[in-house]
Amino acid sequence: MKLGFISDTHGGYEDALQALDLLKGAELVCHVGDVLYHGPRNDLPKNYDPKQLTELLKSRTDIVYVRGNCDADVDEMVLEQDLSQKSRVIEFDNYRFYVVHGYEETEEERLQRAKELGCQVVVSGHTHVKVLEKRDGVIVLNPGSTTIPKDESRSFAFYENGQIELWSLDSQTPIKTLKL
């Protein structure tokens, strides 16, 4: 069973399409927020096409979303998807994933909340910087950004067969793997 993670697509149609193509076969994909709008602090992505990205995402029934700081009610309306939840607990393959965009709380607060909820993994986005490591008994995953990376390479992640893999969209190769 495969569970995908993408974040901070910011209207980048081609980037999101590439990540979703590489996640083909996943039973579920979690979008960790900041779906359509590029945000006032970011330059326009080179493949910025929120209208085309909307059509792509509307056609998918295998994606769940958490609301990011750049997501708005109008995004929820045009996507015809639930963008109202700022966090979710995803139960998958006997593991619990706490998924939150990560702009309203500290990392320590996210870790604490994940433990309170009985989650083995906390997944956040927002920083556009990929992370995959174990902290205080919980796996911390930030899949980075498919569109506007702050660490120089576009990325996504997935869980499969008891491990999480962080992948580069640019080289289409794994960056790091961590067993649960």
CATH number at residue 167: 3.60.21.10
- Is the Cα torsion angle 170, 172, 173, 175 positive or negative in sign? positive
User: How many separate domains does the chain show?
Assistant: 1
> Confidence class of residue 161 from pLDDT cuts 50, 70 and 90?
very high
DSSP assignments along 114-164, one per residue = HHHTT-SEEE--SS---EEEEETTEEEEE---SSS-SSSS-EEEEEETTEE
Q: Is the pLDDT reported for residue 35 higher than 90? A: yes
Residues whose CB falls within 8 Å of the CB of residue 49, separated by 6 or more in sequence, listed in order: 11, 12, 13, 14
- Cα dist from 2 to 25, 118, 149, 164, whole Å: 7, 21, 24, 10
**Please, are residues 127 and 151 in contact by the beta-carbon 8 Å criterion?**
no
> Confidence class of residue 39 from pLDDT cuts 50, 70 and 90?
confident
Rounded mean pLDDT of 28-48?
A: 92
Percentage of the chain lying above the pLDDT 90 cut: 94
Percentage of the chain lying above the pLDDT 70 cut: 100
Range of the domain at 149: 2-179
Phi, psi of 168 (to 5 degrees): -85, 130
Q: Is the pLDDT reported for residue 42 higher than 90? A: no
